[in-house]
C-alpha cells in the first residue's frame, strides 16, 4: 500500500511540533508549508487569515497530498470552515482534537487553556471544551513564543514567566481545573517547565499530539484517504530526509536560514533542504 501524503500548514515554525508528533505516529510522506513572510497571523483579520490559509492549502494540494493538517492555531480558530470549503482534500485542525483529549482525561470537567492572544480572543478552545461539557479558563501567554524562539526553553526566566502566567490562571479558573491544554504549537517545547509549575495532579494535554492521534485514526479507519485517486501534479525530485517509512519536504515564504535554525530546535534534528516559495499577496 502506498504511504499517504500529508500536508502540514502553519504560519511559521510552531507547526513543526505537529509535524514531529505526526511523524512519530504515522508513516507518510510529509509536506510542510510555513508562511514565514506573513506571520504573525494573530494581528490580521479573519478574511486575511482565511485568504492566506486557503492559498497555502492549495499549494499543498498541488503536491498531491491526501490530507491537510492545519497546524496553525490561529488559522484553525478563525478560518477552518473556509479552508474546508475551499480544499478538495480532507482537512484536520488542531482545536477539536485538543479539546476532545482534554475532555477524555479530565475528571473535574474543567480546564485551563494557555494560548496566544489571538487564539484566546477567538474563544475557539473555550467553545470546543464547552461542547464537550468542560468549563474552561483561557489565559494568553504572549511571552512564551519569543522565549521558545530565542532558545530559552529551560531558562530560569522562562520558568519565572510560567509561574506568573500559570499562577494567575490557576487563581482565576472557575473551579479546580485538572487539565492544562497547550493551545499553541510552540508550547510543547515548554512542557518540562510547565510540568514543574503546575500542580502534580494536573494533566498536560498537547494539541499537537492529540491532532496526530486523530489523523492516525483517520488513516486507520478511512482507506479512502490513502487510496483515493490524485488529480493534482505530483512534486518532482527525490524526497528530502527519507527514512524507511517517512519523507519530508519543507517550504517557506521567507527567511530560509532562520527557518532551518529554528526547525532544528523544534524537530530535534538538522533540516538542510528548505525551499523558498512565493504565493504572492
Active site residues: 72, 184
With beta carbons less than 8 A apart as the criterion, state whether 25 and 213 touch: yes
Phi, psi angle pair for 244, to nearest 5°: -60, -35
- Retrieve residue 190's grid coordinates: 515548554
What is the C-alpha to C-alpha distance for residues 219 and 171, in angstroms, rounded to an integer? Answer: 41
135 beta partners: 110
Cell of 1: 500500500
Q: Helix, strand, coil: what percent of the chain each, to 5?
A: 50, 20, 35
> Could you tell me the three cell numbers for 233?
501534479
Strand partners, 28: 246
Q: Give the strands of the sheet with 179-182, arranged side by side.
A: 135-140, 110-115, 179-182, 203-206
Task: Work out whether strand 5-10 and strand 28-34 pair parallel, antiparallel, or are unpaired.
Answer: parallel
Amino acid at each position: 500500500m502506498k504511504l499517504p501524503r500529508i500536508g502540514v500548514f502553519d504560519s511559521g515554525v510552531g507547526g513543526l511540533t505537529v509535524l514531529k508528533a505526526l511523524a512519530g505516529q504515522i508513516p507518510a510522506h510529509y509536506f510542510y508549508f510555513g508562511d514565514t513572510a506573513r506571520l504573525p497571523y494573530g494581528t490580521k483579520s479573519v478574511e486575511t487569515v482565511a485568504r492566506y490559509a486557503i492559498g497555502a492549502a492549495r499549494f499543498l494540494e498541488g503536491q498531491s497530498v491526501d490530507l491537510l493538517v492545519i497546524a496553525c492555531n490561529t488559522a484553525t480558530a478563525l478560518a477552518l470552515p473556509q479552508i474546508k470549503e475551499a480544499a478538495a482534500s480532507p482537512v484536520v485542525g488542531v482545536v477539536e482534537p485538543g479539546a476532545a483529549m482534554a475532555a477524555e482525561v479530565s475528571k473535574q470537567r474543567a480546564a485551563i487553556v494557555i494560548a496566544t492572544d489571538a487564539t484566546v480572543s477567538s474563544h475557539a478552545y473555550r467553545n470546543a471544551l464547552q461542547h464537550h461539557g468542560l468549563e474552561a479558563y483561557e489565559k494568553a501567554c504572549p511571552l512564551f513564543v519569543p522565549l521558545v524562539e530565542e532558545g530559552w526553553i529551560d531558562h530560569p526566566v522562562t520558568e519565572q514567566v510560567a509561574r506568573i502566567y500559570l499562577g494567575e490562571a490557576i487563581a482565576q479558573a472557575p473551579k479546580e481545573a485538572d487539565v492544562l491544554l497547550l493551545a499553541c504549537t510552540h508550547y510543547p517545547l515548554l512542557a518540562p517547565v510547565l510540568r514543574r509549575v503546575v500542580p502534580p495532579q494536573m494533566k498536560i494535554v498537547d494539541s499537537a499530539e492529540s491532532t496526530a492521534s486523530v489523523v492516525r485514526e483517520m488513516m486507520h479507519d478511512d482507506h479512502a484517504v490513502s487510496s483515493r485517486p490524485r488529480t493534482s501534479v505530483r512534486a518532482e525530485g527525490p524526497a528530502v530526509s527519507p527514512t524507511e517509512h517517512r519523507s519530508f519536504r519543507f517550504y517557506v515564504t521567507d527567511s530560509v536560514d532562520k527557518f532551518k535554525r529554528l526547525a532544528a530546535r523544534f524537530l530535534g534534528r538538522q533540516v538542510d533542504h528548505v525551499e523558498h516559495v512565493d504565493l504572492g499577496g
